[in-house]
Structure 1
Amino acid sequence: MSLPTFSFSTTAEEVADTFASKIRGKNVLMTGTSLNGIGYETARVIAKYANLVIITGYNLERLKLSQEALKKDVPGAQIRPLILDLSSLAAVRKAAAEVNAYSEPLHILIHNAAHGGGDFKLTADGLEIQMATAQFGPFLLTKLLAPKLIAVGSTSFTPRVVFVSSEAHLMGPGVDLDNLAHPTPENYTTMGTYCQAKAANILFASELARRSGGKIKAYSLHPGTIYANMMQKEHNRADLVSFGVLNPDGTPNKDSKFPFKTFGEGAATTLVAAFDTRLEDQSGSFLWDCVLANEKIAPHSADPETAKKLWDISEEIVNEKFTF
């Protein structure tokens, strides 16, 4: 069977329908599944075919709202909520232990969650909260779940880990490795740190692909510009207006150089990264508009030495050696 060519306007539904046979029977854990976000749409479409979709969030009330909406949208889907605060290493360990105790195997891990920006804030672990949520929490979670993921590997299936990054990584100088362990307000801006976090996603994916030696396939991606939760937060408006993404009143700028996608279009590239069979020999790659786009990675996020250094620093910060 010839596979369709995907593009900017491809929807998550179209991708899921194309690879329905690959999604069936799979168990998927996905972070960042609040309503009015591409994570919710990704989970909804996967749930049409998957055996189990584990949705996560740090707020039980919001998590239950997502679960109820998913069950309403996809009657019969098996949706399991998991309390997970990625900004807390202790909370990540607790959630990982819960997942490792599940009787079901785990096939796909999708890192979609991001902190919503705002003022400089340290976590209980002394980390800047955006980087904790985007890099250190996901690093620890992946490390702790890696044995469960690897256990499902076979000659016909390799587990995948997907990182939802952003073209925003192009708008900054890359990850400030020197200040990750000891962040200070002097080195912080909301959008600057967001750009760093998205650069870290790409570096982590490429290094995970390299170090796992084929036991795990890892991919990062730019989902597109979507008028979702984070873009609607008041404290992000000034930056987004300055970039030309939003109008001064906070509405989407239809004349922006960043063309907007629907939620369905925004979730599509994540589905491709998680299930497209054409990516089997492309582990570590970056996707954009549902296709490979390694040429669009900023040099600072394509540097293998930077990826190795970020990995080593992450191991020190979470106090765990990540080996395969």
Structure 2
Amino acid sequence: MSLPTFTFLTTAEEVADVFADQIRGKNVLITGTSINGIGLEAARVLAKYANLVIITGYNSERLKLSEEAVKKEVPGANIRQLVLDLSSLTAVRKAAVEVNAYPEPLHVLINNAAAAVGEFKLTEDGLETQMATDHISPFLLTKLLAPKLLSAGSASYIPRVVNVSSDTQALGSGVNLNTVAHPDPEKYSMFDAYCQAKSANVLFAIELSKRSEGKINAYSLHPGTIFTNIMKKKETEATLIAGGVLTSDGRPNTDQMQWKTLAQGAATTVAAAFDPRLESKPGAFLWDSVEANDKIAPHNSDPETAVKLWIITEGIIGEPFTF
């Protein structure tokens, strides 16, 4: 069967329909599945075919709304809610215990959730909020769920981890390894912190694929520029208006860049999770639903940096991530 070439305009639904056979029977966990977000759109289209879609969020009431939204579109969807607060390592551990108690294996883990861009703030663990939510907690969650992912592997199937990064991984100078474990308010800038967190997503996918030695394939991606609920948060909105991404009234600035719809924005996530053409490209970076390693900034493909970030993150969570 010849597979189509995806483009900027491709929707998540179109990708899911192409890979329906690959999605059938699979169990997927997606973090950050709130209304008007690309995580929920990915959950919705995957729920058409998947055996189980686990949706997560830190607010149980909002999670309930997300499940209702999916089931309204896909009445037969098998959705399971998981309360997960990525700003707390204790909460991540608690959620992982719950997932590991599920009877089903886990075929795909999609680290989609991200913190809002905002002023310098520490989590309960003393970590900078964006780096904690976007990288350190997903690293811990992946580590704790790795045995469940590995149990889904077979001679014909390699489990996947998908990190939703951004094109901003190429901006700035990359992750400041000195401040990952020791945040410094003097060196903090909202947008740079976001770029660093997105760089960490790319480095993590590359190093995870390498260390698993073919047992887990990890990918990172740029979903596109999408007007999601995270952009409407007050602090984030002000930053984006100042940067010209949003207009003065908080709407997408179409003069500055091309915007994707939610449906288009979730497409690359679905492709990263299920496109069989990626099996020979572990650690790849995707853009418009296709491999685009040429768009990885040099500081995010440096093997030494990837190893250092891995070791620092292991130190923060207090346990080794081995296979």
| TM-score normalised by length of structure 2 | 0.98
CA distance in 2, matches of 1:38, 1:178: 32
Q: Which residue of 1 aligns with 2:302?
A: 303
Backbone CA RMSD of aligned residues: 0.9
DSSP-derived class of the 1:121 partner = coil
| Structure 1 ranges of 4+ moved more than 6 A | none
Q: Which residue of 2 aligns with 1:235?
A: 235
Instruction: State the one-letter code of the partner of 2:248.
Output: P
DSSP-derived class of the 2:122 partner = coil
DSSP-derived class of the 1:179 partner = coil
CA distance in 2, matches of 1:8, 1:198: 21
Q: Which moved more, 1:243-252 or 1:306-315?
A: 243-252
CA-CA distance at 1:59 after TM superposition: 0.9
CA-CA distance at 1:246 after TM superposition: 1.2
CA distance in 2, matches of 1:94, 1:239: 33
DSSP-derived class of the 1:211 partner = helix
CA distance in 2, matches of 1:105, 1:209: 19
CA-CA distance at 1:52 after TM superposition: 0.4
CA-CA distance at 1:202 after TM superposition: 0.2
CA distance in 2, matches of 1:114, 1:68: 22
Q: Which residue of 1 aligns with 2:268?
A: 269
Q: Which moved more, 1:221-230 or 1:177-186?
A: 177-186
Q: Which residue of 1 aligns with 2:311?
A: 312
Q: Which residue of 2 aligns with 1:280?
A: 279
Query: Deviation per CA, 1:209-249, whole angstroms, max 9, x where unpaired?
Result: 00000000000000000000122222123332343321111
DSSP-derived class of the 1:261 partner = coil
DSSP-derived class of the 2:220 partner = strand
Q: Which residue of 1 aligns with 2:56?
A: 56
DSSP-derived class of the 1:321 partner = coil
Q: Which residue of 2 aligns with 1:292?
A: 291
Query: Deviation per CA, 1:81-140, whole angstroms, max 9, x where unpaired?
Result: 001111111111110011000011110000000011222111111111111101110011
Query: Deviation per CA, 1:134-168, whole angstroms, max 9, x where unpaired?
Result: 11100111001001101111111110000000001
Q: Which residue of 2 aligns with 1:6?
A: 6
CA-CA distance at 1:172 after TM superposition: 1.7
Instruction: State the one-letter code of the partner of 1:39.
Output: G
CA distance in 1, matches of 2:287, 2:305: 22
Q: Which residue of 1 aligns with 2:160?
A: 160
DSSP-derived class of the 2:85 partner = coil
CA distance in 2, matches of 1:272, 1:76: 23
Q: Does 1:65 align with 2:57?
A: no
Q: Which residue of 1 aligns with 2:113?
A: 113
DSSP-derived class of the 1:142 partner = helix
DSSP-derived class of the 2:71 partner = helix
Query: Deviation per CA, 1:30-78, whole angstroms, max 9, x where unpaired?
Result: 0010001111101000001001000011111111111111111110101
CA distance in 2, matches of 1:106, 1:235: 36
Query: Deviation per CA, 1:166-208, whole angstroms, max 9, x where unpaired?
Result: 0011222110100111112112121110111000000000000
- Structure 1 gaps of 5+ residues are none
CA distance in 1, matches of 2:149, 2:227: 33
Q: Which moved more, 1:213-222 or 1:117-126?
A: 117-126
Q: Percent identity between the aligned chains?
A: 67
Q: Which residue of 1 aligns with 2:321?
A: 322
CA distance in 2, matches of 1:147, 1:310: 22
Q: Which residue of 1 aligns with 2:96?
A: 96
Instruction: State the one-letter code of the partner of 2:97.
Output: A
Q: How many residues align?
A: 323
DSSP-derived class of the 1:260 partner = coil
- Structure 2 gaps of 5+ residues are none
| TM-score normalised by length of structure 1 | 0.98
CA distance in 2, matches of 1:242, 1:7: 30
Q: Which residue of 1 aligns with 2:126?
A: 126
CA distance in 1, matches of 2:269, 2:187: 31
Instruction: State the one-letter code of the partner of 1:235.
Output: E
